[in-house]
Amino acid sequence: MRTVDIYDCTLRDGTQGEGVAFSVDDKIRITRRLDELGVHYIEGGWPGSNPRDAGYFERAKDLELKNAKVTAFGMTRRANLAVEDDPNLQSLLDAETPVTTVVGKTWTLHVRDVLRTTLDENLRMIQESVAYLKSHDKRVVYDAEHFFDGYKADPEYALETLRAAQAGRADVVVLCDTNGGTMPWEIESITREMGRQIDVPLGVHTHDDSGVGVANTLAGVRAGATHVQGTINGYGERVGNANLCAIIPDLKLKMGLDCVTDEQLRNLTETSRYVSELANLTHNYRQAYVGASAFAHKGGIHVAAVMRNVDSYQHIEPKLVGNNKRVLVSDLSGRGNVLYKASEFGLEDVDKESAAQVVERIKELENEGFTFESAEASVDMMLRRTQPDYAPPFQLVDFMVVVEHREGRGLLAEATVKVRIDGAVVHTAAEGNGPVNALDAALRKALLPSYPQLMDFQLIDYKVRILDSEEGTAAKTRVLIDTSSGYKQWSTVGASTNIIAASWRALVDSVEYGLLR
C-alpha cells in the first residue's frame, strides 16, 4: 500500500491564524496529542523568531514521542551572507531537532520585490542552506514558498529553485500554494509534471483561501506527492491552512492510502476538540468528520431511513474517526426522531401515540421561539411527562421576582418561590445578583433539604437570544441553560416575551432533568 507522511503545522502556521495562540505548555500538550494521532512530523515553530518558540524547543528535547519527529522551521540564509554566519540557520541547529524545514522563494516577484536580490543569488541561497543543514546530519524538508504562483509566472525559474534544493540534497521538496489561489486541476497537473522533472520525494502545502485547501492537497497526492502538510481544524493565516481533520480520513478511508493506523484514526475527533479547547476557540460543529453535526440527522425522512439502515444517510461509520451519530429533534422531526431519542434516553415505554403528541408539541413550541436541537434535556423531559406513571420530583405553585434600587445599596434582586414536594408546599425566598440568579437560589433553597444532590449542580452557561428584534423591548426571548453535575452536562431551553418566564422554563427543566438522572 502506498504511504503518505503527515506533517502537522498547527504549532507554527496554525498560530498565525487570527485569534489562535498557544502557550509553551499548550504546545507541549498538543505535541503529545499529535503523536498519539500518529502524525509523522510536528512543526514546533520558528526557534529564531520569538522566546516562546525557543522555549518550546528547549522543552521538546526531553519529549519521548512514539510516532512523530519534532521539526524546527526557518528560512534560507540571507542574501550575500555565508551560511555559517546566518543567525536563523544557527537557531535551527540550536533547536537540536532531528528534522529541519527551510523555506525559500520560488516566485520571481518575491525574489525581486521582497528579498530584493538576484535570481541567481536566490538559487545559491536555497542550495547552500539545504546543504549546510544536511552537513549537520539533519533530515531537511524544503518548502518551496509560492511555488504554484511562481510556476505560473515563470515555470523555468520555478523548476530551477526545486533543482537547487535537490542539489543541496533535500529529503523532501514541498510545493506550496501559499496564497491559496490555485485550483485542484492546476495542483494536480503541475505536481505531476514536477514529479517527472526532479528525483526528490514531493509534498504539498495548501491554504484554503479559495475554499479548496483539502481538495488541493488530495489532488497533489493523486499526482504523486507522498508528504502532506496541514493544521488541525484548518487553523492558519487568513482563512486558514488545509485541514488535517479532513485530509487524514480522506487519505485513509477514501483513497486507501496508509497514513495513520485504524486505532490512531479513532483519536481524530478528540484531538480536534482538544486543540480547539486549548486555542480557546469554539469547536466548529459543522466541520467534516469531527464536527458535532458531521453525523447529525434532523429531517424526519432521513431519520426514518437511518433507523432502518444506518448507511442510508452516512458516508462512513462515525466511530472510525472517534465521532458519534446524533438524531436531532426540531419542527422538521417526524415520529421516528422522537422514538429514536426516547430509546437513546432509556425510555423504552414511549409508544407511537405519545411520540406523535411530542412531535406536535415540539412544532408548536418551535413556532413560539423554542429550539430543541441543542436542548436535548428539555426533549427528555417532554417525553417523560407524557408517561402516565410519571411523577415529577417537585411542582411549581407560584413564584415572584422583585428587582429594585435601594439608596445606599444599589440594585437588589429577590425571588420568592412556592413548590410542592411530596404533597407539602415549601415557600422560600432568596436574593441574587439578578432576577434569574435569585430564582435559581430560591428554587435550590426549597429543594435542597429533599434533594441534597442539587449541591453538585452548577449552571455553567446562560445564553439569551432576541428572536424578533424589531419588537424592541417587547421582543420574544429564547434562553438556553447549560448545567453540569461535575461528570455530566445537559442543556435546556425556554422561550417567551418575558425573559423571566423563559428563564424559569429552562431552569425548571434543568433541575428536574438533573434530579431524575
Dump pLDDT digits (tens) for 445-473. 999 999 998 899 888 888 888 877 677 76
pLDDT score for 308: 63
- CA–CA distance, 1 with 432 (Å, rounded to integer): 65
Closest CA to 286 of 313, 323, 257, 320: 323
Burial of 433 (0-12, 13-18, 19+ CB in 10 A): exposed
- Enumerate the domain spans of the chain: 5-278, 296-385, 395-516
Round to the nearest angstrom and report the end-to-end CA distance of the chain. 49
pLDDT score for 331: 47
- CA–CA distance, 347 with 355 (Å, rounded to integer): 11
Under 8 Å between Cβ of 227 and 174: yes
pLDDT score for 486: 80
pLDDT score for 496: 85
pLDDT score for 85: 94
Which stretches of the chain score pLDDT less than 70? 1, 297-313, 326-351, 362, 366-369, 372-374, 469, 473
The 3-state DSSP class for residue 298 equals coil
Would you state the CATH architecture of domain 5-278?
Answer: Alpha-Beta Barrel (3.20)
pLDDT score for 113: 92
State the Rg of the chain over Cα: 29
Asked if 5-278 and 395-516 have one fold, the answer is no
pLDDT score for 516: 82
Under 8 Å between Cβ of 224 and 7: no
Residues near 364 by beta carbon (within 8 Å), at least 6 away in sequence: none
pLDDT score for 284: 87
- Predicted TM-score (pTM) of this structure: 0.74
What is the assigned CATH class of domain 395-516? alpha beta
pLDDT score for 404: 87
pLDDT score for 434: 87
Closest CA to 227 of 197, 194, 270: 194
- CA–CA distance, 344 with 331 (Å, rounded to integer): 19
Predicted confidence (pLDDT) per residue in 417-443, tens digit: 999 998 899 999 999 888 888 999 999
- CA–CA distance, 303 with 294 (Å, rounded to integer): 14
